Structure 1
Amino acid sequence: MQFFRQTLKDQTPLYVFVAVLFLVGVLFGALMVNALSLEQQQDMARHLNHFFISVQDSGETMMQSSYWSIAGLHLKWIGLIWILGLSVIGLPGILILDFLKGVLIGFTVGYLVGQYSWTGLLFALVSIAPQNLVIIPMLMMCSVAAISFSLYIIRNRFLMHRGGSMVRPLASYALITLCMVVLALSISSFETWVTPAMMQWVTPMLL
């Protein structure tokens, strides 16, 4: 526990930077909604209506069967960040992923609110907000750990302490990522069994 506290304290500037980058992505995604043409808005509205109908009509068994697809998506995101953090050239890719995550959330929420007003906001609150309250900090921790390890490689392999041991930093990096994997598997359970039930409660207001 002391290790995690000290790590969090040392990496506070990186957390601030990643959080700001994510928020800029959210804002950019929300602004993208206004750039959609009328035809694009109509196409998206049709797809959303079909989605709402499928959510309303789908049974509990269908929702439960999607656990591994949901967990797999989170694990792929974590895995990609992990791989990018193992190399210096992967550093910009980590930042791009954080920005892209913000864009996706900002666009989705912005479109729902713009298209469906307060009912769209309610749907976003039950379908997007709960799990992302955990997923976003989780991905931020993965990103900061990856950035820190990448910066360690730059400092100790290319700048000054050439030949320094990589075992302890790599073990710390792997431990943090493993903890985030366990957390991702846990939140996927909520997203599989609880979120669909809340979505089914809201979708009649949108149809």
Structure 2
Amino acid sequence: MQPIRHSLRDQTPLYVFVSVLFLMGVVFGALMVNALTFEQQQDLSRYLGDFFVSVNDGGTSFQALSFWTVASLHLKWLGLIWLLGLSVIGLPGILILDFLKGVLIGFAVGCLVGQFTWKGLLFAIVSVAPHNLIVIPALLIASVAAVGFSLGIIRNRVLLHRSGSAAGPFFSYTSLTLIMAAILLAISTFETWVSPELMSWVTPLLI
């Protein structure tokens, strides 16, 4: 856990910046719901209604994703952050990914609340919130590590023209990313087997 403690201690401003960027994405995503046309809102309402009926009835259109499908979605996102952190030009991409993640969550919650008010909020609490309470911090920690590593490249290689070995920082950066990957694998078990059960308990309220 040493890489995490080091990251938390030395990169607090980056954590604040990335967290604010993510929250801006959440707000933007929620506001996007209001920008939908009336026809789009009707289509969305029909889709959600059919989805909730299927969940309640155990229909074939609702099939809980397999563990590896869920895990691969999280790991691909994490892997892309890690890859972008290896290059200077990838720095904006990391920030865009964090903002986009916020937009996706904000839009999902905004759609549920906009269509079903407090019942939609309750569904969002059991379906969107639980695993994301772990997934989002893990991705933000990985993002800060990626931004920090990329800024280190800019500072040492571009601005100061240092030619020392980057093996140490790379090992710390990759180690932290692997720790986040293990955490995402663990929370994927919850998302695979527990979240669908929670959704099935709440769904009758929305039908």
TM, length-normalised to structure 1: 0.94
Query: Which residue is equivalent to 2:109?
Result: 109
Within the alignment, does 1:159 sit opposite 2:143 as a pair? no
**Between Structure 1 and Structure 2, how many residues are aligned?**
204
Query: Which residue is equivalent to 2:131?
Result: 131
Rounded Cα–Cα distance in structure 2 between residues aligned with 1:68 and 1:161: 43
Cα deviation per residue 1:78-134 (whole Å; 9 max; x = unaligned)? 011011001000000000000001111111111111110110000000000100100
Cα deviation per residue 1:9-42 (whole Å; 9 max; x = unaligned)? 1100000000000011111111111100011111
Deviation at 1:43, TM superposition (A): 1.1
* Residue identity in the other structure for 1:178: L
Query: Which residue is equivalent to 2:177?
Result: 177
Structure 2's unaligned 5+ residue stretches are none
Deviation at 1:47, TM superposition (A): 1.6
Instruction: Tell me the percent identity.
Output: 67
Deviation at 1:4, TM superposition (A): 3.1
Rounded Cα–Cα distance in structure 2 between residues aligned with 1:51 and 1:74: 23
**2:25–2:106 Cα contact (<8 Å) kept:** yes
Counting only pairs closer than 5 Å after superposition, residues 29-178 of structure 1 correspond to structure 2 as: 29-58=29-58, 62-63=63-64, 66-178=66-178
Divergent runs of 4+, >4 A:
none
Cα deviation per residue 1:135-185 (whole Å; 9 max; x = unaligned)? 110010010000001001111111104212110000001100000110011
Q: Secondary structure at the match of 1:89?
A: helix
Structure 1's unaligned 5+ residue stretches are none
Cα 1:181–1:6 change in 2 (3 A) is: closer
TM, length-normalised to structure 2: 0.94
Q: Secondary structure at the match of 1:162?
A: coil
Root mean square deviation of aligned Cα: 1.3
Rounded Cα–Cα distance in structure 2 between residues aligned with 1:118 and 1:100: 25
